[in-house]
């Protein structure tokens, strides 16, 4: 089985498990608690609707991006995390032992460009 990390924007409406089952026209299974707090999640195109427990949604929510600055800060945080991971990778790998066809130097170039991009985002904040 694959392990996936998904990130997508959805509309999240607070809703109990029972209310969601009622919304779907389903009977609440006897082994489920209708009072469980959660969210009805709808993709922005409206094609997929699901329900998830509140603690799952809250723990997996990247952010509520409402303003330009919010979105800029999210982008900067994500890029900063990637820079750290690439730096750790570069530090852990012997450049002469890499089996990548493009060679190890491309990682250094990528890191330099990512850091330049970080500097641009910092200037825009």
Q: Summarize pLDDT for 56-92 with one digit per residue, the tens.
A: 998 887 666 678 888 888 899 999 999 999 999 888 8
Q: What is the mean pLDDT of the chain?
A: 89
The three-class DSSP label of residue 39 is: strand
Does the CA dihedral 28-29-34-39 come out positive or negative?
negative
Answer yes or no: is 87 within a domain. yes
Q: Which domain holds residue 41?
A: 10-60
Average pLDDT over residues 28-39: 97
**Lowest-confidence region among 2-11, 38-47, 61-70, 103-112:** 61-70
Enter the tokens of residue 115.
């850091």
Answer yes or no: is 2 within a domain. no
Q: What percent of the chain has pLDDT over 70?
A: 89
Same domain, 49 and 82: no
> Cα separation of 23 and 20, whole Å?
5
């Amino acid at each position: 089985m694959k392990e996936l990390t998904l990130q997508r924007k959805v509309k999240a409406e607070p809703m109990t498990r029972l209310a969601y089952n009622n919304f779907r026209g389903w009977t609440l299974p006897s082994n489920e608690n209708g009072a469980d707090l959660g969210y009805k999640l709808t993709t922005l195109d409206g094609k997929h609707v699901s329900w998830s427990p509140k603690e799952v949604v809250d723990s997996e929510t990247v952010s509520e991006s409402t303003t330009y600055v919010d979105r800029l800060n999210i982008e900067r945080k994500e890029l900063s995390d990637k820079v750290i991971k690439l730096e750790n990778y570069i530090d852990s790998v012997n450049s002469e032992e890499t089996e990548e066809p493009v060679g190890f130097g491309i990682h250094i170039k990528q890191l330099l460009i990512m850091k330049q991009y970080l500097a641009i985002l910092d200037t825009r904040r």
